[in-house]
Structure 1
Amino acid sequence: MNGRVFIIGLGLIGGSLALCIKKQHKNATIIGFDVIFEQAKLAKMLSVIDEIAPSIEDGAKEADLILIATPVQETERIMQALVNMELKDQVIISDAGSTKKEIVKRSKLLADKGVAFIGGHPMAGSHKSGITAAKSILFENAFYLLTPEDHIRAEQVQQLQSWLSGTKARFITLSPDEHDYLTGVISHFPHVIAASLVHQAEKTSETKKLVPRLAAGGFRDVTRIASSSPEMWRDILLHNKEVLLSLLVNWQEEMQKVTNMLETENSEEIYDYFLRAKQFRDELPQKQKGAIPAFYDLFVDVPDYPGVISEITGILAKEEISITNIRILETREEIYGVLVISFQTEEDRERAEACIHLHTSYETSVAL
């Protein structure tokens, strides 16, 4: 497709969308804007975008597609500003926010102006942020949720999907209300629980000094999503307040159920509680991206001697396998420790595991 695509917000998501569109639509021109001008300059230098817009108004006026990849409250302000700008007649506007109901409500003013707004949510991410973390493969096999209102024509939705075809994502269309409830259950609420577990550990650490050291293992992995952007999650919680308040009530009822089982020492119910959770969790798709960014970790049993980490990283470097993070679990007492290596994709993890098996005798495993 030819045309001009204007991307507002040049972080991980905006930058990755730009790369996907450039890869699929080589004749398109990608214009970018970010409130942090250095981010825009870096995006241009890295060839993520073709041009830097000096302002939103300058970038929007000739755009055929406008993608807003900013925190949701900032998205609302940008949509309000776009209402008063000169735009092309057939322009399509979409966003990439994690909540949709309030955003779509704001789009009414654009609809009154005859502008098509289609809510969007690419359900992929990374524990890295910023334009330097942008990748054209970020959305592959991820769900990309679209929330068009009734007045949006089918061909407009198809046109947006064509622009975004380079993401290689799986498009699903649903209502804004359904979107916010589903993402509340599988993404927003788990982030609240992860943050609350960290707060509990922090309070306990005031009297139990071993907590931070022991939490370096499984606890740190379980609560990994609590390291997400506080600004982003503040906005998401306020936008999806009604759903989250309802889920918190359900959670309190669930915890009361656990409390009752413990107080009555009902071993059969406790066993069944964990069994049903295990069965449902084990049946969840393993190779499919969901609402929470996946972390592709490889656990390597390594002997405790100098140079073992550089040995492993050297092997992977020769095969040009990128590592996103590396650390050692410190909770083991044996002479063997556990090296945890994180990768961007499952393919990288599989290549790394095969490579380590080929060149060493170290045991490896992945968390299921």
Structure 2
Amino acid sequence: MEGNVLIVGLGLIGGSIALSIKEAHQAAHIIGIDVSHRSLEAGITLGIIDEIGESLIIDAKRADLIIFCCPVKETEELLKHLPKLKLKPDVLVTDTGSTKGSIMEVAKNLQASGIHFIGGHPMAGSHKSGITAAKRMLFENAYYLLTPSETTDPKQLKQLKQWLIGTKAKFLTLSPCEHDQITGMLSHLPHIVASALVNQTRRFTEKHSAAFRLAAGGFRDITRIASSDPRMWTDISLSNRLVLKEQLTHWRDHMNEALLMIEKADGKALYHFFDQAKEFRDSLPVHEGGAIPAFYDLFVDVPDMPGIISEVTGFLAEEEISLINIKILETREDINGILQITFQNEEDRQKAKDCIAKRSNYPCHFE
């Protein structure tokens, strides 16, 4: 496909989508708009975009495809400008927001003006942010949720998928309501719960200072989503507040039930509580993307001796296997240490395990 693609918001998501479009559609001309001139300059330097745009008002008129990669509330405000502009009659407009209900409501005014809007939500991310973290394969095998309106022409939906084919994502079409219910349960609620647990622990460590160091192991891992961008999650929580209000009410009720079991020392009920959770959790898909990006961790048992980290990372470097994070689990007290190495995807993790096993006798294991 060929034409002008306008990316509004040139961060990790916008940059990665631009790279995937350039890979699949070499005749496409990518224009970037962002409030940060530094991001735009980096986009040009890194070859992510072809042109720095002037403004939405000027550059939207030239576009065949417009993708808003901004926070939800910002996207809603920007969408309101489009009906006032003289756009191409067949222009496609989409977004990448984590909630869809309010955006689709605003988009009704676009449909009334003859502008084709299809909601979008690529369910992938990274521990890094910004244009310099953009990757062409960020969305590979991840779910890319699409929320067309009731009046969307199937041909337009097919055309949008064709534009985005370079993401190599798995497209799934949902209604805006179903999208917000599902992502609220599987992504938004867990982020709130993790943040609440971390904040409770922060207050706890003020009285029990030893807990701070002990939290470096498993606790830090199970709450890692609490390290997400506070601005983004404030925006998401407000955009999906009705769904979250309902789900947080259910969560509170379930916590009250757990509290009652413990107060009554009801071992049978507690066993059932934990057993049900274990059975369902163990049945969940292992190697598929989901609402929260998967963490591809490899745990390596290594001797506690100088130079061990550089030795292991040297193995990986020689076989050109990229890692995105590495740390030592400090709660171990035996003669061996544990290196926790995080990779971008399952393929890199498996390559790393094979590489280390081939070059050393250090045991490697997954979760």
- TM bin, normalised by shorter chain, reads over 0.9
Contact 1:11 1:134 in 2 (8 A): yes
Q: Which range is displaced more, 188-197 or 272-281?
A: 272-281
The AA in structure 2 aligned to 1:198 is V
Pairing 1:216-365 to 2, within 5 Å after superposition: 216-365=216-365
Q: Secondary structure at the match of 1:338?
A: strand
1:5 counterpart = 2:5: yes
Q: Aligned equivalents of 1:237 and 1:352: distance in 2?
A: 37
Q: Using the TM superposition, give the Cα deviation of residue 58 of structure 1 relative to its aligned residue in structure 2, in angstroms.
A: 2.5
Q: Using the TM superposition, give the Cα deviation of residue 251 of structure 1 relative to its aligned residue in structure 2, in angstroms.
A: 0.5
The AA in structure 2 aligned to 1:12 is L
Q: Aligned equivalents of 1:281 and 1:274: distance in 2?
A: 10
Q: Aligned equivalents of 1:207 and 1:201: distance in 2?
A: 10
Pairing 1:75-94 to 2, within 5 Å after superposition: 75-94=75-94
Q: Secondary structure at the match of 2:62?
A: coil
Q: Aligned equivalents of 2:42 and 2:320: distance in 1?
A: 24
Q: Using the TM superposition, give the Cα deviation of residue 138 of structure 1 relative to its aligned residue in structure 2, in angstroms.
A: 1.0
Q: Secondary structure at the match of 2:352?
A: helix
Q: Using the TM superposition, give the Cα deviation of residue 111 of structure 1 relative to its aligned residue in structure 2, in angstroms.
A: 1.3
RMSD of aligned residue pairs (Cα, Å) = 0.9
Q: Aligned equivalents of 1:302 and 1:272: distance in 2?
A: 38
Q: Aligned equivalents of 2:264 and 2:197: distance in 1?
A: 25
Q: Aligned equivalents of 2:297 and 2:81: distance in 1?
A: 43
Contact 1:32 1:59 in 2 (8 A): no
Partner of 1:198: 198
Q: Using the TM superposition, give the Cα deviation of residue 85 of structure 1 relative to its aligned residue in structure 2, in angstroms.
A: 2.0
Q: Using the TM superposition, give the Cα deviation of residue 82 of structure 1 relative to its aligned residue in structure 2, in angstroms.
A: 2.1
Deviation per residue, 1:217-266 (Å, 9 max, x gap): 11111111111111110010001001001011100111111112112212
Task: Give the count of matched residue pairs.
Answer: 367
Partner of 1:16: 16
Q: Which runs of 4+ in 1 moved over 4 A?
A: none
Q: Aligned equivalents of 1:271 and 1:137: distance in 2?
A: 43
Partner of 2:184: 184
Q: Which range is displaced more, 137-146 or 195-204?
A: 137-146
Q: Using the TM superposition, give the Cα deviation of residue 163 of structure 1 relative to its aligned residue in structure 2, in angstroms.
A: 0.4
Structure 1 gap segments, 5+ residues each = none
Q: Using the TM superposition, give the Cα deviation of residue 338 of structure 1 relative to its aligned residue in structure 2, in angstroms.
A: 0.7
Structure 2 gap segments, 5+ residues each = none
Partner of 2:97: 97
Q: Using the TM superposition, give the Cα deviation of residue 56 of structure 1 relative to its aligned residue in structure 2, in angstroms.
A: 1.6
Q: Which range is displaced more, 332-341 or 182-191?
A: 332-341
Q: TM-score by structure 2 length?
A: 0.98
Q: Using the TM superposition, give the Cα deviation of residue 70 of structure 1 relative to its aligned residue in structure 2, in angstroms.
A: 0.7
Q: Using the TM superposition, give the Cα deviation of residue 169 of structure 1 relative to its aligned residue in structure 2, in angstroms.
A: 1.1
Pairing 1:58-207 to 2, within 5 Å after superposition: 58-207=58-207
